[in-house]
Amino acid sequence: MKKIVVLGSINIDTILNIERLPLPGETMAMHDRSIAGGGKGANQAIAAARAGSETSFIAKIGKDHAADFMMDTFKNDGLNIDHVTIDDKAGTGKAYILLDEHGQNSILIYGGANQAVTTKDIDDAANAISEADCLIAQFEVPIPAITEAFKIAKENNVLTILNPAPAKQDIPAELLKLTDIIAPNETEAEAITGIKVVDEASMIAAADKMHEMGIEIVLITVGSKGSFYSLEDHSYGFVDAFKVKAVDTTAAGDTFIGYLASQLNKDLDNLVGAMRFANKASSITVQEKGAQNSIPYHNQVEF
């Protein structure tokens, strides 16, 4: 069984169902409203656990009802939550998701306790990181904490996966050099490289630029089309998505990351197969509304 550690965010998602995204200054009615557990870190940790990995989560929550709800969710999925700590000042993170009739979304984030994760929190979890097969992080927690975690991982030959979301420019070079696999979507790839990703040629150009930054493997997810990969030796390819009717794309990328990590061999010789399996899991996620409730279990992901 793979040992995976996820460093990341916990949010309570408020999902607002609308016909289309509003124009500037426009007032619109909602069709529906719902609340569910979310946060990129929590989603990816749950995906890894449901994929069959032994998963530990490093995160921070507030001292509120939302935190109790999330902790119960983590326990139900069998996550190790020894390093999910409470911040007395900030509330649990919140996300407000605008979801249109075609399943596309725009998301607004209140960081809350997620922004209170410190390097001390990471050092306290050093044993869990050093014993893992893979460490995953995203940008909904502070970069100094991510960098510290990746340093510990690399000192112990632990694979590091960075999901650079939300999109961020000027990522510290130190962090990029500690990253084995970077997995942006098209928007995030453009933010990192300045290259607009619209076709295979631009994907290759963006990947090459990320390789120059010190990253061995670049994966670019492109929604309903699938996922692109590029290796430092300039070999590359595309793994097609599974064609389904998308109801809600929330957590699709997080499902991909969690399932990918759960499948990867240490020498990465099964990268394409792991990506295909992760694509399949994501295709199930988009067929149901919500984030964590839509993430499938391993026995549901069949070819």
- 121 inside domain: yes
Distance CA 130, CA 170 (A): 28
Residue 155 pLDDT more than 80? yes
Rg (CA), the chain: 18
Between CA 284 and CA 81 the distance in angstroms is 26
Determine if residue 234 is left, alpha or beta; phi over 0 gives left, psi from -120 to 50 gives alpha, anything else beta.
left
3-state helix, strand, coil in the chain (%, to 5): 40, 25, 35
Asked if the structure places residue 23 within a domain, the reply is: no
CB-hemisphere CA count at 13 Å for 46? 29
* Binding region for ATP: 185, 221-226, 253-254, 279
Question: 281 pLDDT exceeds 80?
Answer: yes
- Is residue 31 included in any domain, yes or no? no
- pLDDT value, residue 256: 97
Cis? peptide before 166, omega within 30° of 0? yes
pLDDT tens digits along 170-186:
999 999 999 999 999 99
pLDDT score recorded for residue 9 = 97
Name the token pair of 135. Answer: 């460490």
User: DSSP string of 76-127?
Assistant: HTT-EEEEEEE-SSSPPEEEEEEE-TTS-EEEEEE-GGGGG--HHHHHHTHH
Is 21 among the domain residues? Answer: no
Q: How confident is the model at residue 234 (pLDDT cuts 50, 70, 90)?
A: confident
User: Binding site for substrate: what residues are annotated?
Assistant: 11-13, 39-43, 140, 254
Kindly state whether residue 158 falls inside one of the protein's structural domains: yes
Q: What are the φ and ψ backbone dihedral angles of 108, each rounded to 5 degrees?
A: -110, 135
Q: pLDDT digits over 6-24, tens only?
A: 999 999 989 899 999 899 9
Q: Is residue 238 pLDDT above 90, yes or no?
A: yes
Structural domain includes residue 128: yes
Higher pLDDT, 38 or 117: 117
- Per-residue confidence band for 52, with pLDDT thresholds at 50, 70 and 90: very high
Half-sphere exposure of 274 (CA within 13 A, CB side): 19
Binding site members for K(+): 248, 250, 285, 288, 290, 294
Distance in angstroms (rounded) separating the CA atoms of residues 121 and 85: 8
Output the domain CATH number for residue 51.
3.40.1190.20
pLDDT at 105: 82
Where residue 206 falls among pLDDT bands split at 50, 70, 90?
A: very high
pLDDT at residue number 257: 97
Binding residues: 11-13, 39-43, 140, 185, 221-226, 248, 250, 253-254, 279, 285, 288, 290, 294
Statement: residue 290 has pLDDT above 80: no
- Tell me the catalytic residues: 254
The answer to whether residue 282 sits within a structural domain is yes
Pair of tokens at residue 112: 């809350």
Residues 223, 186: Cα–Cα separation, whole Å: 9
Cβ proximity of 7 and 119 under 8 Å: no
* Residues 288, 187, 277: CA angle, nearest 5 degrees: 45
- Does 3 have pLDDT greater than 90? yes
- Statement: residue 292 has pLDDT above 80: yes
pLDDT of 303 over the 80 cut: no
Domain count for the chain, please give it.
Answer: 1
Percent residues over pLDDT 70 in the chain: 100
Q: How many CA atoms lie within 13 A of 79 on its CB side?
A: 29
* Average pLDDT taken over every residue of the chain: 94
| Of 55-59, 108-112, 125-129, minimum mean pLDDT range | 108-112
Q: Does some domain include residue 52?
A: yes
Taking the CA atoms of residue 232, residue 148, residue 43 and residue 280 in that order, the dihedral angle to the nearest 10 degrees is: 20
CB 10 within 8 A of CB 117: no
57 backbone dihedrals φ, ψ, rounded to 5°: -125, 130
pLDDT one-digit tens code per residue, 65-112: 888 889 999 999 999 999 999 998 999 999 898 988 887 888 888 899
**Confidence at residue 276, expressed as pLDDT on a 0 to 100 scale:** 97
Q: What is the mean pLDDT of residues 182-204?
A: 96
pLDDT of residue 252: 93
For 273, the domain range is 3-9+39-92+114-300
